[in-house]
Amino acid sequence: MIINSRFFNRSELIGFLALALLLFVILPLSLDIFRLNLVAKYLTYAFVGIGLVLCWGYGGILSLGQGVFFGLGGYCMAMYLKLEASSVENTKIQSTPGIPDFMDWNQLTQLPFFWKPFHSFPITLIAIILVPGIFAFIIGAAMFKRRVGGVYFAIITQAIAAIMTILIVGQQGYTGGINGITDLRTLHGWDIRTDHAKFILYFVEVVLLFACIVAAQFIRLTKLGRILVAMREQEDRVRFSGYSVANFKIFAFCAAAIFAAIGGAMFTLEVGFMSPSFVGIVPSIEMVIYTAVGGRMSIFGAVWGSLLVNFAKTSLSESFPQLWLFGLGALFIAVVLAFPNGLSGIWQDHVQPRIDRLLAARKSKPGNGFSVADGAPAE
């Protein structure tokens, strides 16, 4: 079903290779393990960003609740890790050994039923994909079938993010409350807190990230991706042509949710805890910002956006905590007003043409006559 004969065109291939070079070679070689772990943390948002490019950039569905799916994936992973960390030997000082410590503090004497499946590693891995996927399907089916879209969808997903946070914070005994699920130690018997483990986890994450990039690129290039774009531009025409608009939207939303969940699960592994502060309205909107800064139409842009904005956030808030929010706010406004297509848009409009012209000039000098100046743009 691939319409383009090539999976990546030339400039996409260059972008892909450049990103691979940076993430696989340059960063691991040049950064110490603490900074590399930070990069890993930033990259978890890139998963969300890729999902948002599909669902927002291509599908035109702005979801302000991606934090929910990020959190669901993260919590699934955290529940498994927490159960492993609170084995009977580890928790024998509690009044009920064998259950997570926060449950014991909240006078629970039994493991709640929805925690039980997370004793098993394979079930956890399936749950990380399925739980957010099904949740997104329910939300998407309920809304898109009734043709709720645009602004209303954004507001409702935002409300869902709010509900989720309040629920997690309120149900302390079951979820760990505002502190979240902390003190995670091992993954299937393998200690995730050592530097070596963090190094390996970084590579696992980057491999997963590239898998997601390829998956997203695949979706984008098939007929499905074309329909998403068509839907964004003229929803009614697509509907009149006999396509079920709702189903395509549900698909895009579910795909974005699953990408976000993978990011969330990796986040838990990299950072070692999960808390409601990554679920609510503020983090959800920040994730949209990373995507907007990188370029809502560009998969690679989303990765770059997550990396750069988070890097700026860390370095600015370390040195000028006062300035950071001003900077972030101004960045938002600037991106929306002046560069709606973000960094990738700037690249495409200003940098790429120059490179092409340069290459064309060099090629035409030997006098072989043809020019590649109007080669395919990056996206």
By the criterion CB under 8 A, which residues form the site for other proteins? 62, 64, 142-143, 146-148, 150-152, 154-156, 158-160, 162-163, 166-167, 169-170, 281-282, 285, 288-289, 292, 322, 325-326, 328-333, 335-337, 340
Q: How far is the CB of 112 from other proteins (least distance, A)?
A: 16
Angle CA(100)–CA(65)–CA(233) in degrees, nearest 5?
155
Residue where the block lists tokens 């603490």: 34
CB of 166 or CB of 358, closer to other proteins = 166
Q: Say what the alpha-carbon torsion angle 289, 295, 298, 300 is, to the nearest 10 degrees.
A: -70
Q: How far is the CB of 25 from other proteins (least distance, A)?
A: 34
Q: How far is the CB of 341 from other proteins (least distance, A)?
A: 12
Angle CA(291)–CA(338)–CA(50) in degrees, nearest 5?
10
Q: Is 328 within 8 Å of 336 (Cβ atoms)? A: no
CB of 198 or CB of 313, closer to other proteins = 313
CB of 129 or CB of 162, closer to other proteins = 162
Q: How far apart are CA 326 and CA 3, in angstroms?
A: 44
CB of 79 or CB of 160, closer to other proteins = 160
Q: How far apart are CA 27 and CA 362, in angstroms?
A: 32
Q: How far is the CB of 226 from other proteins (least distance, A)?
A: 22
Q: How far is the CB of 71 from other proteins (least distance, A)?
A: 15
CB of 36 or CB of 62, closer to other proteins = 62
- C-alpha of 282 from chain center: 15
Q: Which residues lie closer than 8 Å to 106 by C-beta, 6 or more apart?
A: 172, 173
User: What Cα–Cα distance (Å) separates residue 261 from each residue in 158, 306, 341?
Assistant: 17, 16, 25
The torsion region of residue 98 among left (phi > 0), alpha (psi -120 to 50) and beta comes to left
Please provide the size of the chain in residues: 379
Q: How far is the CB of 320 from other proteins (least distance, A)?
A: 11
Q: How far is the CB of 377 from other proteins (least distance, A)?
A: 22
CB of 15 or CB of 177, closer to other proteins = 177
Instruction: Report the SS3 class of residue 329.
Output: helix
Q: How far apart are CA 140 and CA 157, in angstroms?
A: 10
Q: Is 54 within 8 Å of 256 (Cβ atoms)? A: yes
Q: What are phi and psi of 189, to 5 degrees?
A: 85, 0
CB of 4 or CB of 234, closer to other proteins = 234
CB of 124 or CB of 175, closer to other proteins = 175
Q: How far apart are CA 205 and CA 303, in angstroms?
A: 13
The residue type of 301 is G
Q: How far is the CB of 140 from other proteins (least distance, A)?
A: 11
